[in-house]
Amino acid sequence: MSPQVVWHGPLTLIKDTHWQVPVNQNLILCDQTTTSSEYHIFNVIYEMKSIIPLYTVKLYTLASHAFKGSTQSQPLLDYLSMIYQPVNCFQQPKYALLLTMTRNDKNVDPFSQIQYPLASTVHLLLYAQRTTDNTLQTFASVIRDRLDYTGLDAPCLSFHQPSTLEKHLRRCQQLKALQDQRRRDRPERTLIYTKRRIVPKKAPSSSSLLPPISRQTSSSSLPPSSSSSNLFDTNKKNLKTILWSRLRQLDYDSKHDDTKLYYHTIYQSIQYILRNTFKTEMVSHDVLEQFIERHLTFYAACEEHTQQLGSDQ
């Protein structure tokens, strides 16, 4: 008959620093698949990963049989009692511990004929059951599938971390005291009622009536326009039309930023050259086209000269 297998080692509680007691905090798990009186002990290291609700655990992720757990550490017993204190509608503990059990290779007996029955690192679910005499029995099951249970511990941390709850309560009390102090320091509002005097409406008299509006003639409504301003505006309009027409003939895109800059440069230059002529006489289209062609030739020569300088360098 094969001996019973026992896993023995320290348990590190990582979720609450208040319970990190490094002295005499060992957890013992016993495989009760055999009734042999002999035992074989494997040294392991337990590490707590999370506290999860039992209703989130899928039964198909657990192994077929469970290990019975025990400990001689009073701090660990107190901690487990607090974890298993909340119960469900069946008066059974609602929460369980998610542990990792790692084989301790430092104390391995090289001459042992019993092989280690599990993987070097496994995940365990440490839970409890309440018996009819109101006592708690601790069990552990191996989690076969690697499901992420670590993100499910947030709703149940308040009962084993009272410091976090007290911190929020103190903050709420401070905010309430601050609001009360501001309410006391706020000056009282005084209601001011202004009585309005009703002024009776006067009947229109002959003296208050406005004289009838006379119809103005069309000649007096518009001021006489200046001939010089009309000439200046007409010449500018003709220059814009001829310049845009010439640029479109040269396949320039009117919406491109470079084309707009090119247009404004030539337009401002010609307008400056003919600034006095625009105000005194009407400039013919032939003259405007000659100025436009000379500017286009000049800028084309400048661009070609710039490219030659770049190639020489």
The answer to which of 25-29, 142-146, 159-163, 174-178 has the lowest mean pLDDT is 159-163
| Domain stop point among 154, 173, 188 | 154
> Do 124 and 19 sit in the same domain of this protein?
yes
| Domain stop point among 93, 123, 154 | 154
173 lies in some domain: no
183 lies in some domain: no
What's the pLDDT at 17? 46
For the domain that residue 129 is a member of, what is the CATH number? Answer: 2.40.290
Number of domains the chain contains: 2
174 lies in some domain: no
pLDDT digits (tens, 9 = 90+) for 143-168: 887 655 555 544 444 444 445 556 66
> Do 230 and 150 sit in the same domain of this protein?
no
112 lies in some domain: yes
> Do 36 and 143 sit in the same domain of this protein?
yes
Express as a percent the part of the chain with pLDDT over 70. Answer: 74
Instruction: Return the HEC string of the chain.
Output: CCCEEEEEEEEECCCCHHHCCCCCCEEEEECCCCCCCCEEEEEEEEEEEEEEEHHHCCHHHECCCCEEEECCCHHHHHHHHHHCCCECCCCCECEEEEEEEEECHHHCCCCCCCCCCCCCEEEEEEEEEECCCCCEEEEEEEECCCCCCHHHCHHHCCCCCHHHHHHHHHHHHHHHHHHHHHHHHCCCCCCCCCCCCCCCCCCCCCCCCCCCCCCCCHHHHCCCCCHHHHHHHHHHHHHHHHHHHHHHHCCCCCCCHHHHHHHHHHHHHHHHHCHHHHHHCCCCHHHHHHHHHHHHHHHHHHHHHHHHHHHHC
pLDDT above 80: residue 313: no
pLDDT digits (tens, 9 = 90+) for 197-214: 777 777 666 555 566 666
The whole domain housing 122 covers 4-154
